[in-house]
Structure 1
Amino acid sequence: MRTYLANRWFRIGFWLAVLGWSPLLAIVLLAAVGLWPDPNPNPIGPGLLFFFSFWPAVALMGLGAFQVRRGR
């Protein structure tokens, strides 16, 4: 994992995923546990953030993984 995180493209994709996906995943997790005020939330903002950050993050991490596997 350390070699992947040394690659700039993979690192950018990783942080994009962390920042883009964590709000929605946190709301889903907190609602499932019962700590969110609404038991059936409809988080539009975090959902849109997840939607617009998913494929760029996956593409950047894939590009970085490809470069690491190729030996760059």
Structure 2
Amino acid sequence: MKALWSNRLFKIGAIIAVLGWTPLLAIILLAAIGLWPDPNPNPIGPGLLFFFTFWPAVICLGIGALQVWRRRGQRGGA
């Protein structure tokens, strides 16, 4: 796990995910437990933020993990 966090693309993907997904997920969670003022929220802004950050974050996380995996394979085989 420490090797993943040493990869720049993985870090960028994680930051994008946290900044882009947290607002929508927080609203969903707060509405589910009754702490949000509207029991059936329609969060357009956070939803769009999630929409536009989902694939870039997933791609960065995947490429970063792939780079770490390939680097480990080269060190183990040599």
TM-score by length of 1: 0.97
Identity in percent: 71
Letter in 2 for 1:10: F
Question: Cα offset for 1:2?
Answer: 1.3
Matches for 1:12-51 after TM superposition, within 5 Å:
12-51=12-51
TM-score by length of 2: 0.90
Number of residue pairs the alignment of both structures matches = 72
Unaligned 5+ runs, structure 1: none
Higher alpha-carbon Rg: 2
Unaligned 5+ runs, structure 2: 73-78
Instruction: Kindly report structure 1 stretches of 4+ aligned residues shifted beyond 3 Å.
Output: none
**Which residue matches 1:67?**
67
CA RMSD of aligned residues (A): 0.9
